[in-house]
Amino acid sequence: MDRIRPVLWGFFVLFLLYSPAKAEDQSVIDALVVFMDRLVPGSMQTTPGWGWNTSSDPCTSKWVGITCDKDNKTIKKIILEKFNLSGTLDFESVCKVNNLLVLSVSFNNITGNLQQEVSSCKRLTHLYLSENRFLGSLPDSITDLPNVKRIVISNNGFTGQLPDFSRLTSLLSFFAQNNQFTGPVPPFNYRQLDGFSVANNDLSGPIPDDTGRFDANSFAGNLQLCGKELAVQCPVKKSNKKSKLRDFLIYSGYVVLVCIVLVLIAILACKKTKKHHRDVKTRSSVKNGSDSGRSSGSKNSRARSEFSTTSVESGGVSSSMVVLSSPVVNGLKFEDLLRAPAELIGRGKHGSLYKVRPDNGVPVVVKRIKDWKISRDEFKKRLQKIVEIKHPNVLPVVAYYSSKQEKLLVYEFQQNGSLFRLLHGSQTGQIFGWGSRLGLASSIAGALAFMHHELQADLIPHGNLKSSNILFKDNMEPCLSEYGLMSIDHHDQDLTNDRIPTTATFKADVHAFGVVLLELLTGKPVQDNGSGLAKWVSSVVQEEWTIEVFDRALIVEGASEERMVVLLQVALKCINTSTPPAMAEVAAMISSLNEEEERSMTSSDP
Ligand SMILES: *[C@@H]1O[C@H](CO)[C@@H](O)[C@H](O)[C@H]1NC(C)=O
Ligand SMILES: *[C@@H]1O[C@H](CO)[C@@H](O)[C@H](O)[C@H]1NC(C)=O
Ligand SMILES: *[C@@H]1O[C@H](CO)[C@@H](O)[C@H](O)[C@H]1NC(C)=O
Ligand SMILES: *[C@@H]1O[C@H](CO)[C@@H](O)[C@H](O)[C@H]1NC(C)=O
């Protein structure tokens, strides 16, 4: 063949046009052409600008499916999805590309075995082979890819046993559903995986994942698989320590709440006693009557009247319980709370959260905070300020109470859960697309900016912003919960230890909001106050490998990469700089981004 002349000519032109840029070696280009020939591109070859010939350069001639490093013009990604490619995947050739990080040939008609040579792609981080007709078993060498993060081989005809993936310490997700793998589920580093499925294969034996991170959906459709995630229990099983522990925690939750509630009722009774001496007797007899009728449904109704009598006699302290009038909990009485069963639904550094459902009433959430060094008057003043300010995206407090040891806050229960649960909970098939995420970011930023503005003079920031404090109302509108509860109080007498300058806590809110943005963008949960996630994102962004940080669901959805990058920049501004922008500024940036997004949805232009 007379390939030489066009090659020389091509190089000459390239040299003239892009003299500083160093393109891939000709041997790599030749190998890529062989790789594509074996993939049988069919009619694609006639597509204008297709490239993939030995006379052009993959980067400078922009071969279809190839993405190159901006600076040194080496190939980073080969993405050939939905090209009706048939034939076989020649790893030996494609791995000649030294710097190849991403290889995707999903949604084609490729067949044959996965070659042993897959391990020659030493730098590969992403391998997507789903929706093809691959056959045979996975070569063991696939576990020799030291940098691989994502492997997706679902919807193929793979058979045989899965190799031991626990060697792949950088792996973040593995999807192999809808194949015909047999044998046991091998070990993985489940703790670090954020996605995993081996559903619909012919795997057998126990599920090795003891972290409980993945539920039945990840394992379903394997008739001989057993484990606590599935309906099929494994034959020999020791007593389940974990669920016992959980039962114990829930039970102790009940006990604790019973105690709190008893104290509260005592105090309430005491207050009422002072005001209406005569009423007390009638009411307590009514209560006793209703108790006997209800004793089966309620765990904390017994012994209450006894306790309250004692307290009344001892004189007690005056009640600090404030029940605010609210249309949602209209007519809610504190006694109703006490009679209702309570369930521990969360436990944090500073307090616990209980779900309480008063009879015939709206369920509420009781937040109990211990050891908050704030005087009762300060607390009351603070709550009055917070309660005065209303915003549709801030969950209002419906009642609060304060004693020296603890503070209680009552909110209406939001059955649609939190942002944390939506992002990181076990998949319920809910789609949380880019438009919704951006809308949420915009609403929450607006609400936070509003609260900051209104409470600036009182120095009350949110103080504990995180994705589990962003809840969804019935209409799925997001709202901020627990505003103003946790920040360290500046009236605390002790100046030396954990006192934080109060102005810093507004900054801390902005920082925390930045972390929430990162969670929205990456789909990853946050540990250690987000510093790990923030560090990871900044490092990836510095490597100009921005797309890697985004939640794959967003990429798959085809979300605007440009706007995702802008939101990421906003997040990094909130997190990285020592002088973060004010919340109002952040809200304005996100709001205009959101408007842009909405405009793009209504216009037909992509
Ligand atoms: C090779 O691909 C380049 C880029 O698509 C194209 O311009 C050129 O015409 C092709 N050359 C041949 C010989 O097909
Ligand atoms: C090109 O740049 C990438 C990323 O900066 C680097 O990893 C790679 O080693 C470079 N390749 C060459 C040949 O310089
Ligand atoms: C695979 O090939 C079959 C028949 O040749 C065709 O109907 C189908 O559309 C192809 N699939 C893809 C994803 O191109
Ligand atoms: C896909 O390729 C096969 C064989 O190369 C061909 O028969 C079929 O028509 C192609 N289908 C499409 C949708 O291009």
Q: What are the tens digits of pLDDT across the range 383-413? A: 988 988 889 899 999 888 887 777 888 898 8
Cα distances (angstroms) measured from residue 178 to each of 9, 153, 157: 48, 9, 8
User: What SS3 class is residue 302?
Assistant: coil
84 alpha carbon to ligand 3 midpoint, in Å? 6
pLDDT at 258: 62
The structure tokens listed for 57 are 């350069």
pLDDT tens digit sequence for 102-152:
999 999 999 999 999 999 999 999 999 999 999 999 999 999 999 999 999
The predicted structure's pLDDT at residue 395:
93
For 380, half-sphere exposure in the C-beta direction (CA atoms, 13 angstrom radius) is: 12
pLDDT at 451 over 80: yes
Q: What is the pTM of this model?
A: 0.47
Tens-place pLDDT, residues 196-241: 999 999 999 988 866 777 888 889 899 889 888 787 788 764 444 5
Distance 20 CA to ligand 2 centre (A): 15
Most confident of 28-32, 326-330, 502-506: 28-32
The mean pLDDT of 45-59, rounded to a whole number, is 89
Q: Mean pLDDT score of the chain, rounded to an integer?
A: 78
pLDDT in tens, 219-231: 989 988 988 878 7
Straight-line distance from the first to the last Cα atom of the chain, in angstroms, rounded to the nearest whole number: 43
* Ligand with minimal distance to 33 CA: 1
Rg of the chain taking only CA atoms, in angstroms: 30
Q: Closest Cα to atom 9, ligand 3: which residue?
A: 84
pLDDT above 70 (res 427):
no
pLDDT attached to residue 491: 37
The rounded Å distance from CA 45 to ligand 3 centre is: 17
- Range with top average pLDDT, 337-351, 367-381, 443-457: 443-457
The pLDDT value recorded for residue 246 is 57
Instruction: Identify which ligand lies nearest to the alpha carbon of 41.
Output: 4
Which pLDDT score, from 0 to 100, does residue 179 have?
96
Helix or strand (DSSP H, E) at 564: helix 561-576
> How many other C-beta atoms can be found within 10 angstroms of the C-beta atom of residue 81?
14
pLDDT, residue 238, reads 46
Q: How far apart are CA 102 and CA 562, in angstroms?
A: 20
Atom index in ligand 1 nearest the CA of residue 49 equals 5
How far is CA 565 from each of CA 543, 550, 562, 598, rounded to the nearest angstrom?
14, 9, 5, 17
**Is 443 in contact with 593 (CB distance < 8 Å)?**
no
For residue 509, pLDDT over 70 is answered with yes
Domains of the chain: 19-226 (3.80.10.10), 305-413 (3.30.200.20), 418-606 (1.10.510.10)
Q: How many residues does the chain have?
A: 606
The helix/strand/coil state of 40 is coil
Q: Which ligand is nearest to the CA of 10?
A: 1
Supply 96's token pair: 């000649």
Q: Is the dihedral of CA 421, 423, 424, 430 positive or negative?
A: positive
CA dihedral 430, 435, 437, 441 (to 10 degrees): -150
Decide: 111 in ligand 3 pocket, CB within 6 A. Answer: no
Q: Is residue 259 very low, low, confident or very high in pLDDT (cuts 50, 70, 90)?
A: low
Residues 6+ away with beta carbon under 8 Å from 19: none
Average pLDDT over residues 340-350: 78
pLDDT at 262: 67
- Secondary structure of residue 232 in the 3-state scheme: coil
* Residue 245 or residue 486, greater confidence: 486
Ligand nearest to the CA of 51: 1
CA dist 195 and 145 (Å) reads 18
Q: How far is the CA of 157 from the centre of ligand 4 (A)?
A: 20
Quick check: 461 pLDDT over 80?
Answer: yes
- Residue 337 DSSP label: H
- Whether the per-residue pLDDT at 275 is higher than 90: the answer is no
- Mutation pick for ligand 3 pocket among 40, 80, 109 (CB with most ligand atoms within 8 Å): 109
Specify the pLDDT at position 256.
59
Tell me, in angstroms, the distance from the centre of ligand 1 to residue 89's CA: 23
Ligand 3 contacts CB of residue 107 (under 6 A): yes
CB 129 within 8 A of CB 178: no
Task: Lowest mean pLDDT of 39-53, 151-165, 312-326, name the range.
Answer: 312-326
The more confidently predicted of residues 558 and 421 is: 421
CA–CA dist 403, 525 (Å, integer): 35
| Residue nearest (by alpha carbon) to ligand 3 atom 14 | 84
**pLDDT per position as a tens digit, 81-97:** 888 899 999 999 999 99
At 567, the pLDDT band (50, 70, 90 cuts) reads: very high
Contact (Cβ atoms closer than 8 angstroms) between residue 103 and residue 121: yes
Do residues 410 and 400 touch, judged by C-beta distance below 8 A? yes
Beta bridge partners of 489: none
Point out the ligand 2 atom lying closest to the alpha carbon of residue 72. Answer: 1
Residue 332 pLDDT class (50, 70, 90 cuts): low
Q: For residues 234 and 358, what is the distance between their CA atoms, to the nearest angstrom? A: 40
pLDDT digits (tens, 9 = 90+) for 285-322: 333 333 333 333 333 333 232 222 223 323 333 355 67
Q: What is the pLDDT of residue 164?
A: 92
Average pLDDT over residues 319-330: 63
Whether the Cβ atoms of residue 58 and residue 32 lie closer than 8 Å to each other: yes
pLDDT at 501 over 80: no
**Residues facing 472 on adjacent strands:** 478
